[in-house]
Amino acid sequence: MTTKEIRVQRVSLISSKPFDAIVESITAAIGRPDVRMFGEQLRAAKSIAELSEVVRAAVGPSDLMEFARYDAGEVLRKEHAGRGPKVLRLVVGNPLIMKEMARRVPDAASYAPLTILIDERADGVHLSYDLFASCIASYGNRDALAVATDLDAKVEALLKQAAA
């Protein structure tokens, strides 16, 4: 067994916009396919061209799609009789982007899809994301790093748009 230390950088924005408005903005920019049906379509694809068509139909204007969402705030609010901050974890990505990284650095697949965290705090709504490039930089592959950097730019643009 080997252990590799990975240094991760987190980007966070703070917005004065309401939590629900931020979630609505992000939701409008990402595709939200039926994940079960999406999986069936991926498995049925007979070529990379067919697979690419399925993915392109599933992603939103941000070139990303939602795989899952977890309302962590609901669990936290149970402890405080329904009161407390809203916290939402969105699991988003693009299988074609992941493919481009993972074919160069197989470990990249363990970081995809990625997480966007949206949470209310006293100073505003925080939008946080761990930079994908920081996750795979230590593997030393420039091509995979370029793909990861492009992905980071897409996610950062999405967060900035939602926070503005």
In angstroms, the CA 49 to CA 53 distance is 6
- Residue ranges and CATH numbers for the domains of the chain are 10-30+62-163 (3.30.310.70)
User: According to the model, what pLDDT value does residue 81 have?
Assistant: 78
Query: The tokens of 57 are what?
Result: 């139909």
Cβ-based neighbours of 122, under 8 Å, separated by 6 or more = none
User: Distances in Å between the alpha carbon of 88 and those of 32, 43, 132?
Assistant: 16, 29, 20
What digits encode the pLDDT tens for the residues 14-70?
999 999 999 999 999 999 999 999 999 999 999 999 999 999 999 999 999 999 999
pTM for the complete prediction?
A: 0.92
Angle at 94 between CA 91 and CA 98, to 5 degrees: 100
In angstroms, the CA 127 to CA 101 distance is 25
Q: Grade residue 10 by pLDDT with cuts at 50, 70 and 90.
A: very high
Cβ-based neighbours of 52, under 8 Å, separated by 6 or more = 96
User: According to the model, what pLDDT value does residue 4 have?
Assistant: 86
What digits encode the pLDDT tens for the residues 131-140?
999 999 999 9
Q: Is residue 151's pLDDT more than 90?
A: yes
